[in-house]
Amino acid sequence: KAGVTQTPRYLIKTRGQQVTLSCSPISGHRSVSWYQQTPGQGLQFLFEYFSETQRNKGNFPGRFSGRQFSNSRSEMNVSTLELGDSALYLCASSLAWTDATTDTQYFGPGTRLTVL
Amino acid sequence: AQSVAQPEDQVNVAEGNPLTVKCTYSVSGNPYLFWYVQYPNRGLQFLLKYITGDNLVKGSYGFEAEFNKSQTSFHLKKPSALVSDSALYFCAVNSGGFKTIFGAGTRLFVKA
């Protein structure tokens, strides 16, 4: 069974631009969570989608948004990029909504975003 | 509110020696605990989890973890470390009804 895939793997943008990242979960998984990983802040939860609905949201500004499609693929968008948005963005998929179950989250390889 | 702490930023161990990576947690309900490992330029890989039952959980690559309710700990262990175990390790907790919380990570260095 194929794992979680994320595209693109690397991205370089300039301040003020916007970016869209994509995540395809493991087949059959309906939940997708997004995380931001930086050396200083560690792994920070952005949001979780389950059955096309946002179930949980972390403490990030409104510039960060996401959506999930009927095939469970998810996209994350960051508008008006700032230097501090440079990070590794990870998505994780699980069978069901993580708060309601003990399902394991399986992570993709991440998208390395650099903002210049 | 739930939280998880990994008190050591870095753990150094010689190859062949046992290793321990520490994790403590705080939750209001029953804890569901996870360990993940991250190699450079890779996503997190699942190692093991504790949901209920036996306090000693065995996982991938020879790792195991012991759930200790009285000490609210879930330390990761391996009897004999390998150089290839060098990586960043994350402990995570979920008590149901809340999103999963990850620790800050512990970097493990195994010296040959």
Cα angle value A52/A53/A56 (rounded, 5°): 135
Provide the shortest C-alpha distance from residue A71 to chain B (in Å): 22
- What residues of chain B lie within 8 A of the CB of A100, using their CB? 96-97
Q: Which amino acid is at A110?
A: G
Q: In the block, which residue shows the tokens 């590794």? A: A88
A102·B32 Cβ contact <8 A: yes
Mean pLDDT score of chain B: 92
- What residues of chain B lie within 8 A of the CB of A110, using their CB? 41-43
A116 and chain B: CB distance < 8 Å anywhere? no
A5 and chain B: CB distance < 8 Å anywhere? no
Q: Is the alpha carbon torsion for A16, A48, A62, A24 positive or negative?
A: positive
**pLDDT tens-place string over residues B68-103:** 999 999 999 999 999 999 999 999 998 766 678 899
The span from the CA of A77 to the CA of B39, in Å, is: 26
A109·B42 Cβ contact <8 A: yes
The span from the CA of B24 to the CA of A32, in Å, is: 26
Cβ–Cβ < 8 Å for A114, A11: yes
Number of domains in chain B: 1
Residue A99, pLDDT score = 58
Q: Report the CATH number at residue B83.
A: 2.60.40.10
Q: Is A98 helix (H, G, I), strand (E, B) or coil?
A: helix
A87 and chain B: CB distance < 8 Å anywhere? no
- Partners of A84 in the beta sheet? none
Radius of gyration of chain A (CA): 13
Cβ–Cβ < 8 Å for B102, B2: no
Cβ–Cβ < 8 Å for A115, A86: yes
Residue B8, pLDDT score = 96
Residue A100, pLDDT score = 56
A92·B32 Cβ contact <8 A: no
A104·B97 Cβ contact <8 A: no
The span from the CA of A89 to the CA of A85, in Å, is: 10
B43·A109 Cβ contact <8 A: yes
Residue A95, pLDDT score = 86
Residue B101, pLDDT score = 87
Residue B29, pLDDT score = 82
Residue-by-residue pLDDT tens, chain A, 116 positions: 689 999 999 999 999 999 999 999 999 999 999 999 998 788 899 999 999 999 888 899 999 999 999 999 999 999 999 999 999 999 999 887 665 567 788 999 999 999 99
The span from the CA of A87 to the CA of A38, in Å, is: 5
Instruction: Provide the domain limits for residue B19.
Output: 3-111
- What residues of chain B lie within 8 A of the CB of A112, using their CB? 41
Cα angle value A106/A107/A110 (rounded, 5°): 170
Residue B20, CB half-sphere, CA atoms under 13 Å: how many?
8
The span from the CA of A7 to the CA of A31, in Å, is: 18
A100 and chain B: CB distance < 8 Å anywhere? yes
